[in-house]
Structure 1
């Protein structure tokens, strides 16, 4: 398996693979590279829709010239708790970022959210985010404002009066409820249109069917989110062999 930095020819193969709609794992297999290498390469250079081999190669060369071994720092070299592999954690952050981008979030906002999710505390300051992501404080501020407006993060002050940005256990519940409620306006408007266009006409029937569908889905989503909410607060079971794990022996 080849090692070291990607060559310009390999980057061209990545670009061709993306154009053909190949998954990262398949592109990596053809290059005989780890999937994480391809994922990092694409996410650092515009993402799957904007990746250009020549631009990516020049950007990498510029970064290499600017970086010196004595001053290099960032997520790759940051110490990790619990014996985690720093490179593996960084690769996972980039994979999670890609998933968030594909779900519709802008790239910078996705990077910030992925970074917060992969910290044990689920909480970082603006300075910590800027250092971990190697971006400007202004980029972090813009991303946080966007995420805060969507209620995907919350803010609070710590004991040193620094503002911290937090992803907590309730985030996904609130997101599901917000998604369900966002359908309400369309449901009401669709039914107004059905009345206006005349009940029983093809157009009115189409709008009424959409309204009924969304009404049913929203009600089910809200009910399911309420029932499953406690899962967000469930702590993982102790690992097998852990002294704290409950015994299955009734005696």
Structure 2
């Protein structure tokens, strides 16, 4: 069932889909599951390149069987000192990764509590900082979707869920794809033959590949569609609207729209040709040649 736990057979099918190069959404449709379920399953168990069905099934069983440790009700002074030291060590690690210091301390404090939730007063007392500092850090984390707020009577509690890093990963993937699309727009503005255009094209390709890798990557079928629409545009040799191309190829409009969108932002897939969308909505295939190369090609044609 869509809401139940994944079975071993489903995990085997996920592993097979990843091996075949299918994207998370495609695997999820095959299983009749939400895409988020497959994304979370793979991210928790080695990623797209390290996922193994048997190992993932055993790890899930271990997580489901965990019990709170039995022992003294309260931690001794040495335990308290060790825990406090680790909270600071973890916060330092996050700071080195680029997270502001106070934000890192708040996130570290929340993440290392048994409940994964604290009130503003709890954070002030534990971190020995002002309420204003906690408020700013909480606002920063909420903006990144790294915590959520819950009402507890008259107070507000701040909660970090078990999949907080998965949400951060998904957010990074979306940001990388947005950067890739912005860079491609810059290429169109400055021109692909200019130094700025070359740098922007390299940036677009890098972040498009990174974003796709983080989100599961395009399937083999999607890549094949990109190559087909690119070849069709080269064959036509003039700007073409998506609807016209769909009619010529005998494809559904949505399939052509998706392929053209991917082709326009993934120049690494289209080879020595870039696909660009004009202001009127028509798409064209542009050979990646320098001005000098373009100038010499007519001479070859006349001489032949």
TM-score (structure 2 length as normaliser)? 0.44
TM-aligned CA distance change 1:142 to 1:196, over 3 Å: closer
Aligned to 2:185: 192
Superposed counterparts of 1:68-147, under 5 Å: 80=74, 85-147=79-141
Aligned to 1:206: 199
For 1:206 and 1:80, locate their aligned partners in 2 and report how far apart those are by CA, in whole Å: 58
TM-aligned CA distance change 1:107 to 1:80, over 3 Å: farther
Preserved contact between residue 91 and residue 104 of structure 2 (Cα < 8 Å): yes
The structure showing larger relative contact order (alpha-carbon pairs under 8 Å, at least 6 residues apart) is 2
Provide the aligned C-alpha RMSD in A. Answer: 2.3
For 2:76 and 2:113, locate their aligned partners in 1 and report how far apart those are by CA, in whole Å: 12
Preserved contact between residue 176 and residue 210 of structure 2 (Cα < 8 Å): no
Residue 170 (1) aligns with residue 135 (2): no
TM-aligned CA distance change 1:143 to 1:196, over 3 Å: closer
For 1:84 and 1:169, locate their aligned partners in 2 and report how far apart those are by CA, in whole Å: 27
Partner-residue secondary structure (3-state), 2:200: helix
For 1:182 and 1:123, locate their aligned partners in 2 and report how far apart those are by CA, in whole Å: 27
Preserved contact between residue 124 and residue 166 of structure 1 (Cα < 8 Å): yes
For 1:147 and 1:183, locate their aligned partners in 2 and report how far apart those are by CA, in whole Å: 19
Residue 153 (1) aligns with residue 147 (2): yes
Partner-residue secondary structure (3-state), 1:168: coil
Aligned to 2:233: none
Partner-residue secondary structure (3-state), 2:216: helix
Quote how far apart the aligned CAs of 1:98 are: 0.5
Preserved contact between residue 120 and residue 134 of structure 2 (Cα < 8 Å): yes
Preserved contact between residue 148 and residue 154 of structure 1 (Cα < 8 Å): yes
Partner-residue secondary structure (3-state), 1:163: strand
Preserved contact between residue 80 and residue 86 of structure 1 (Cα < 8 Å): no
Preserved contact between residue 157 and residue 164 of structure 1 (Cα < 8 Å): yes
Partner-residue secondary structure (3-state), 1:223: coil
Structure 1: unaligned runs, 5 residues or longer: 1-78, 225-251
For 1:80 and 1:135, locate their aligned partners in 2 and report how far apart those are by CA, in whole Å: 25
Preserved contact between residue 191 and residue 208 of structure 1 (Cα < 8 Å): yes
Q: Deviations over 1:27-51 (max 9, x none)?
A: xxxxxxxxxxxxxxxxxxxxxxxxx
TM-score (structure 1 length as normaliser)? 0.52
Preserved contact between residue 94 and residue 111 of structure 1 (Cα < 8 Å): yes
Aligned residues: 145
TM-aligned CA distance change 1:80 to 1:209, over 3 Å: farther
Name the larger-Rg structure.
Answer: 2
Partner-residue secondary structure (3-state), 2:167: helix
Preserved contact between residue 153 and residue 171 of structure 1 (Cα < 8 Å): yes
Preserved contact between residue 124 and residue 164 of structure 1 (Cα < 8 Å): yes
